[in-house]
């Protein structure tokens, strides 16, 4: 069934419903009548639209985006050869003319450098993890590592945009927006797509709201940024001096005024507006309740680490992500900045790891103990990898790494992925893929598949063509799916 048709059908249904509403039901009921199905698409209305395309493995996604490109070589892709060959030139047979960024293209030498940090194997699966991530090491049996992600971009902005929207350039909808569009929200009081930001202690590269843009989709699919300030969602707080009863009273008056207007004009959009005000009112209660972390029990606080009580930290965002997801938010997107170690890998990488390791692992354990991990897909990812050779000065105690698009590591947990496995393999130099590459488009296709969506069928016609998250490419990777 074409999406265009679905849209039309939706439109007809909504008009039809509103038409009926105006004819059949008393207008006094308007203020309290809730028809979220028509605006936020609940499960029941989805069935009539033919979505999802097949039984989903996961219902919700939490995407822990490590912004800036954490080095795969200091985290999960263990390459002892680099330590042995430290200081030696990267063989041309390995580099194979790969284009370089403007930051190292002027370097006369490309000396290999191994991880400063030690690696060990963990869990039944024996996954290699560096000493920087002792807590993630404890949950490796829930994780499916992808060692062979690769991308086309070599700079942050286009690479990030590609990871999140499926295109390096252009104003395309973000992954979360596509899922909001395809599946809607499970919770009528919360947006389907929420975004949480945190800053690290390493070299950072910034994020941009275009990364959670709705692109050409309706703005209702825009990612809603939750801030660390008292007002978690923009404009959520009632004005100073006004409380909930006052607001309720105001909305009742407003609804009566709008209803008078509706009687004159007969425009269903007026009623739709009344409903949006009602949903806004419910959000005002639902969001602060949900974002109040102070009532979390001690054992949870311990699990995520004390930082989780400091709003705006990665740890707090992990805990908040769990709560939002548990409440039915379809897609929770975290961005943690500071992973761009062109230099000072030895100084910065441990700080970045310290800020994220514990709470990342806690999120997985927490979801698991609540029985939610099976239906929640947790993704740990980034925009590209880092070079096996040193950028800048190589000393005994420090080094840096440039951007590397040819291979990098991401991992997923829960939600139908093959737990306790590693997919794909890079060469001994950690430079090229030798087995089972996963392109960004393949990754998107697989994630949509886990959510019960066929990436070729989740389309939107815009300016003459059918757009997809995967654009014109992408294959589901069966090896990642349990």
Partner 1 sequence: MRFLIGIFCVLTSLLLVDCQQSGSITGVRDSVDYNLHIRPILSDRCFKCHGPDANQRKANLRLDTPEGALAALKDNPAAHAIVPGEPDQSEVFLRISTSDTSVLMPPPNSNLSLNAAEIALIEKWIEQGAKYKPHWAFIPPQKHPLPEVDESWPKNEIDYFILEKMEAAGLQPNAAADKERLLKRVSLDLTGLPPSPELQARFLADKSEDAYEKIVDELLAQPQYGEKMAVHWMDVARYADSHGYQDDGLRTMWPWRDWVIHAFNQNYAYDKFVTWQLAGDLLPNPTKEQLLATGFNRNHKITQEGGVIDEEYRIEYVTDRTNTFAKAFLALTFECAHCHDHKYDPISQKDYYRTFAFFNRVPEKGLLGDIQLASLADPPKIKITSEEVENILTFINKKDTTPVEVMVMKDTTWKRPTYVLVRGNYDAHGEVVDVGLPNAILPFDSTAFGNNRLALAKWLLHEKNPLTARVFVNRMWQELFGRGLVKTSGDFGMQGELPSHPELLDWLAVDFRENGWNIKRLMKQLVMSATYQQSSTISKKQREKDPDNILLSRSPRIRLSAEGVRDLALASSGLLVKEIGGPSMKVYQPKGIWESSTSGRGVLARYVQDHGDKLYRRGLYSFIKRTVPPPGMLIMDGSNRDQCEVKRGVTNTPLQALLLLNEPLMLEASRVLAERLMLGKSSEEEKIKKAFLLIVCRGSKSEELSLLTAYYKSEKEKFQQSPEKAKKFIEAGEYPHQEIKDTVSLAALMQVIQTIYNMDEAITKT
Interface residues for partner 1 in 356-385 (CB under 8 A)?
none
Q: Beta strand 433-435 with 425-426: parallel, antiparallel or unpaired?
A: antiparallel
Q: Min. distance of Cβ 247 from partner 1 in angstroms? A: 8
* Helix-helix angle 314-326:268-291, to 10 degrees: 130
Nearest CA to 161 out of 469, 425, 391, 377 is that of: 469
Range in contact with partner 1 (rule: CB under 8 A) among 1-9, 79-87, 89-97, 372-380: 1-9
Q: Enumerate residues 6+ apart whose C-beta is below 8 A from 55.
A: 452
Contact flag: residue 26 with partner 1 (CB under 8 A): no
Range in contact with partner 1 (rule: CB under 8 A) among 7-15, 88-96, 119-127, 358-366: 7-15
Q: Beta strand 433-435 with 460-462: parallel, antiparallel or unpaired?
A: unpaired
Residue list 97-156, contact with partner 1 (CB under 8 A)? 99, 101-104, 154-156
Q: Min. distance of Cβ 396 from partner 1 in angstroms? A: 26
Is the Cβ of residue 242 or residue 370 nearer to partner 1 in the bound state?
A: 242
Residue list 280-319, contact with partner 1 (CB under 8 A)? 280, 283-284, 312
Of 50, 120, 265, 434, the residue at the interface with partner 1 (CB under 8 A) is: 265
Is the Cβ of residue 225 or residue 441 nearer to partner 1 in the bound state?
A: 225
Of 229, 285, 369, 395, the residue at the interface with partner 1 (CB under 8 A) is: 229
Range in contact with partner 1 (rule: CB under 8 A) among 82-90, 273-281, 362-370, 431-439: 273-281
Of 84, 347, 465, 482, the residue at the interface with partner 1 (CB under 8 A) is: 465
Contact flag: residue 403 with partner 1 (CB under 8 A): yes
Residue list 160-189, contact with partner 1 (CB under 8 A)? 169-171
Q: Min. distance of Cβ 58 from partner 1 in angstroms? A: 23
Residue list 194-213, contact with partner 1 (CB under 8 A)? 197, 199, 204-210, 213
Q: Min. distance of Cβ 326 from partner 1 in angstroms? A: 21
Of 25, 47, 234, 306, the residue at the interface with partner 1 (CB under 8 A) is: 234
* Total site size for partner 1, rule CB under 8 A: 90
Contact flag: residue 344 with partner 1 (CB under 8 A): no
Q: Min. distance of Cβ 250 from partner 1 in angstroms? A: 6
Range in contact with partner 1 (rule: CB under 8 A) among 55-63, 264-272, 343-351, 406-414: 264-272
Helix runs in 409-470, H state only: 440-450
Q: Min. distance of Cβ 386 from partner 1 in angstroms? A: 13
Contact flag: residue 256 with partner 1 (CB under 8 A): yes
Residue list 50-79, contact with partner 1 (CB under 8 A)? none
Range in contact with partner 1 (rule: CB under 8 A) among 116-124, 261-269, 321-329, 438-446: 261-269
What would the x/- binding string for partner 1 be over residues 413 to 452, using CB under 8 A? ----------------------------------------
Contact flag: residue 456 with partner 1 (CB under 8 A): yes
Map 37-102 to HEC letters. HHHHCCHHHHHHHCCCCCCCCCCEEEEEEECCCCCHHHCCCCCHHHHHCCCCECCHHHHCCCCCCC
Q: Min. distance of Cβ 174 from partner 1 in angstroms? A: 12
Q: Is the previous residue joined to 52 through a cis bond, with omega within 30 degrees of 0?
A: yes
Range in contact with partner 1 (rule: CB under 8 A) among 88-96, 113-121, 245-253, 343-351: 245-253
Tell me the residue ranges of DSSP E strands in 113-216.
119-122, 127-130, 143-150, 193-198
Buried b (16+ CB within 10 A) or exposed e, 54-72: eebbbbbbbbbbbbbbbbb
Q: List beta partners, residue 423.
A: 146
* Contact (CB, 8 A) for 437 and 425: no
Q: What are phi and psi of 402, to 5 degrees?
A: -90, 180
Is the Cβ of residue 135 or residue 271 nearer to partner 1 in the bound state?
A: 271
Euclidean distance between CA atoms 470 and 57, whole angstroms: 20
Q: List beta partners, residue 150.
A: 439
Rg of the chain in Å (alpha carbons): 24
Report CA 350 to chain centroid distance, whole Å.
Answer: 23
**Residue in this structure with the two tokens 């207007």, named with its chain if needed:** 261
Residue-by-residue DSSP string for 316-372 = HHHHHHHHHHHTT-SEEEEEE-----SS-HHHHHHHHHHHHHHHHHHHHHHHHHTT-
* Contact (CB, 8 A) for 61 and 332: yes
Q: Min. distance of Cβ 279 from partner 1 in angstroms? A: 4
């Amino acid at each position: 069934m074409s999406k265009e048709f679905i849209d039309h059908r939706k439109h007809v249904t909504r008009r039809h419903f509103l038409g009926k509403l105006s004819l059949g039901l008393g207008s006094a009921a308007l203020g309290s009548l809730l028809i979220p199905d028509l605006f936020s698409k609940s499960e029941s209305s989805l069935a009539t639209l033919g979505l999802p395309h097949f039984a989903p493995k996961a219902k919700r996604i939490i995407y822990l985006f490590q912004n800036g490109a954490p080095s795969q070589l200091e985290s999960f892709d263990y390459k002892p050869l680099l330590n042995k060959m430290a200081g030696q030139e990267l063989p041309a047979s390995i580099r194979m003319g790969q284009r370089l960024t403007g930051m190292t293209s002027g370097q006369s030498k490309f000396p290999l450098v191994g991880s400063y940090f030690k690696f060990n194997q963990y869990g039944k699966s024996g996954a290699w993890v560096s000493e920087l991530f002792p807590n993630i090491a404890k949950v490796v049996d829930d994780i499916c590592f992808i060692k062979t992600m690769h991308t086309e971009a070599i700079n942050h902005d286009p690479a990030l945009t590609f990871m999140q929207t499926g295109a390096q350039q252009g104003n395309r909808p973000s992954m979360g927006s596509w899922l909001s569009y395809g599946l809607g929200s499970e919770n009528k009081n919360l947006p389907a797509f929420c975004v949480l930001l945190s800053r690290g202690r390493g070299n950072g590269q910034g994020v941009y709201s275009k990364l959670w843009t709705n692109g050409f989709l309706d703005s209702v699919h825009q990612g809603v940024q939750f801030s660390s300030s008292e007002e978690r969602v923009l404009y959520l707080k009632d004005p100073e001096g006004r409380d909930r009863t006052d607001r309720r009273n105001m909305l009742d008056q407003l609804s009566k005024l709008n209803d008078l207007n509706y009687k004159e004009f007969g425009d269903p959009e007026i009623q739709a507006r009344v409903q949006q005000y009602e949903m806004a009112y419910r959000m005002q209660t639902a969001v602060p309740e949900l974002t109040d972390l102070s009532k979390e029990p001690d054992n949870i606080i311990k699990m995520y680490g004390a930082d989780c009580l400091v709003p705006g930290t990665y740890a707090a965002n992990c805990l908040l992500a769990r709560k939002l997801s548990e409440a039915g938010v379809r897609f929770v997107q975290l961005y943690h900045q500071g992973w761009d170690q062109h230099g000072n890998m030895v100084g910065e990488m441990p700080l970045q790891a310290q800020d994220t390791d514990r709470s990342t692992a806690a999120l997985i354990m927490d979801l698991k103990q609540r029985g939610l991990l099976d239906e929640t897909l947790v993704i740990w990812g980034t925009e590209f990898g880092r070079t096996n050779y040193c950028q800048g000065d190589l000393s005994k105690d420090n080094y840096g790494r440039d951007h590397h698009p040819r291979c990098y590591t991401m991992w997923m947990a829960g939600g139908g992925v093959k737990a306790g496995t590693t997919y794909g393999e890079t060469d001994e130099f950690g430079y090229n893929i030798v087995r089972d590459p996963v392109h960004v488009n393949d990754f998107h296709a697989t994630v949509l598949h886990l959510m019960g969506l066929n990436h070729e069928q989740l389309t939107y016609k815009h300016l003459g063509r059918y757009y997809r998250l995967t654009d014109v490419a992408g294959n589901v990777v069966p090896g990642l799916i349990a």
